[in-house]
Amino acid sequence: MEFHEQKILPAVRQIKDLEKLLHSSYEYIVILDIHIGQLKSVVNLANQHGKKVFLHVDLIHGLQTDAYATEYLCQEFKPYGLLSTKANVILKAKQKGVVAIQRIFLIDSSAMEKSLTLIEKTKPDYIEVLPGALTDIITEVKERTGIPILAGGFIRTIQDVEKALEAGVTAITTSKKELWKYFLNL
């Protein structure tokens, strides 16, 4: 599954930014840093505007990141997908038929090997590699796993986006509004 040629997945940290995206042509959006009390209204609003929502489970304030919470999110909010660093969240999301994105932080070779072992266990639909500016490493992760890659973190410029796409990523997750605007017009 690709994102219908959508190369930027806007990552929303504030409600005012979501409101701007509701009237854009972006179909897929990522919700970051949200309080559980706001979740229902935010997801409903996005759905009313035809948006497919990915929830970053680790960044939902007031919710523990375990299999029970994941099941609750899937049943109550019916997100298009879930992102997490936690294996139990990814496994439960897959079980519930929700797109599962395993987020990995590649800070050194040891972190890479541990992440690849985790991915072998969870078999996510996508891997989000952070920092996304590590294009050589992104290529290696894609070759070693065969799983589509999203890049996030330290993607600051149009050139950073283009380099990551050339390295084989499917899309970029970013909260940089300048990049949202630029790639929306292509």
Identify the structural domains of the chain with CATH numbers, from first to last: 8-184 (3.20.20.70)
**67-90 pLDDT, tens per residue?**
999 999 999 999 999 999 999 999
Farthest-apart Cα atoms in the chain, separation: 43
**9-21 pLDDT, tens per residue?**
999 999 999 999 9
- pTM (2 d.p.): 0.96
Counting every residue, how long is the chain?
Answer: 186
- Specify the pLDDT at position 186: 60
**121-141 pLDDT, tens per residue?**
999 999 999 999 999 999 999
Burial (CB count within 10 angstroms: exposed 0-12, middle 13-18, buried 19+), residue 105: middle
- Specify the pLDDT at position 70: 97
3 state SS of 136 = helix
Whole-angstrom Cα distance, residue 110 to residue 8? 29
CA distances from 87 to 31, 66, 104, 152, 157 (A): 19, 9, 11, 19, 31
- Phi and psi torsions of 25, nearest 5°: -85, 0
- Specify the pLDDT at position 69: 96
**90-117 pLDDT, tens per residue?**
999 999 999 999 999 999 999 999 999 9
